[in-house]
Structure 1
Amino acid sequence: MKYIICFFIISLSIQAKELAMLTDLSDLRWENRVIVVNTVNDKDSISKIFEQHETELNERDIVWFIMQNNTVSSNFSGNITDNFVSNMIQNYKINSQLEQGNVMLIGKDGGIKWAAKRLNLAAIFSKIDSMPMRQVEMRPK
């Protein structure tokens, strides 16, 4: 009987995690680096670039978001709330930090690490790989 109760409690907690909705980046802090792209009409081409570099993105624990108007595309595996974009704009002052077509790298600590006018994954990977936390991650185990 004890095992059945434990199993039931564990399965409920797993289901609760699966049902969690991403409203901002706080749930990703200390687990993922984030690339945010704010674009007018390049959403599909930017998605393809991310898809072509999936292995490198995964190696660096990167979750990406492409924001176009009030919509968002992402490689985030969970659900994203309708107010995610407005929370991003407010929390990261995206209107002033990112003009249309700009890119921002947010570190695992939640801080802005890099910003640019265009998506340049080689430059982003280089920036990440120079970070102390990434240096520790790359050490042989």
Structure 2
Amino acid sequence: MKWLNEVISRPAVLALGLLWFGPVIAGEQGMRSLSDFQWRNRLILVEGANEPDQRVETLRRHAAGIDDRDIVWFVVGDQGIQSNLEEPGRDLQRDVRKTLDAQPENVSVVLIGKDGGIKQRSQGLDVAGIFALIDTMPMRKREKR
């Protein structure tokens, strides 16, 4: 263990270790854009200007299925963005709004796959339908094995 103390005491080695493991330790809080979630999470973006609290509650009721499918969700309301992340940063919030603003006018829910592609656009939040769609995807089928 003496060698470990010597390695840790070297500032350059410690700095490299933090650079290497920092993003892993920071987890999702280090995410600055939607593309940072690619290959890690599926995303549900919800325009909830009319009833954001109701949509958040709907998503929270399905927490087990959301966790099982590696989903991160964002609900955009007049008062800001709510998410199952602890605190989405300003850049990430801007990216969520930009993606929702780019959708056709009647779209209020967007499902983005782990590959970063849009898998579904819809007018309403149908969590069971989203789960069913995800469960048909090849990547999800591999995850379940």
- Structure 2-normalised TM-score? 0.79
1:38 aligns with 2:66: no
Distance 1:22 1:100 in 2: 28
The alpha carbon displacement at 1:84 in A equals 2.3
The alpha carbon displacement at 1:45 in A equals 1.1
Identify the range of structure 1 (43-52 vs 3-12) with the bigger mean alpha-carbon deviation: 3-12
Sort the Cα spacing of 1:27 and 1:6 in 2 relative to 1 into closer, same or farther, 3 A: farther
Query: Which residue among 89, 108, 127 is the counterpart of 1:102?
Result: 108
Q: Is the 8 A contact 1:39 1:102 kept in 2?
A: yes
- Where structure 2 has 5 or more consecutive residues not aligned to the other structure, the ranges are none
Query: Which residue among 121, 126, 130 is the counterpart of 1:120?
Result: 126
Is the strand fraction higher in 1 or 2? 1
Which one has the largest radius of gyration?
Answer: 2
- Where structure 1 has 5 or more consecutive residues not aligned to the other structure, the ranges are none
1:138 aligns with 2:144: yes
Identity of aligned residues (%): 32
Distance 2:125 2:102 in 1: 18
Q: What's the counterpart of residue 26 of structure 2? A: 18
Q: What is the SS of the residue equivalent to 1:65?
A: strand
Q: What's the counterpart of residue 88 of structure 1? A: 96
Distance 2:77 2:83 in 1: 11
Q: Is the 8 A contact 1:37 1:102 kept in 2?
A: yes
The alpha carbon displacement at 1:121 in A equals 0.5
Sort the Cα spacing of 1:98 and 1:24 in 2 relative to 1 into closer, same or farther, 3 A: farther
Is the helix fraction higher in 1 or 2? 2
Aligned Cα root-mean-square deviation (Å): 2.7
Distance 2:89 2:79 in 1: 11
Q: Is the 8 A contact 2:40 2:70 kept in 1?
A: yes
Distance 2:142 2:66 in 1: 17
Identify the range of structure 1 (2-11 vs 47-56) with the bigger mean alpha-carbon deviation: 2-11
Q: What is the SS of the residue equivalent to 1:2?
A: helix
Provide the aligned length of Structure 1 versus Structure 2.
136
- Structure 1-normalised TM-score? 0.80
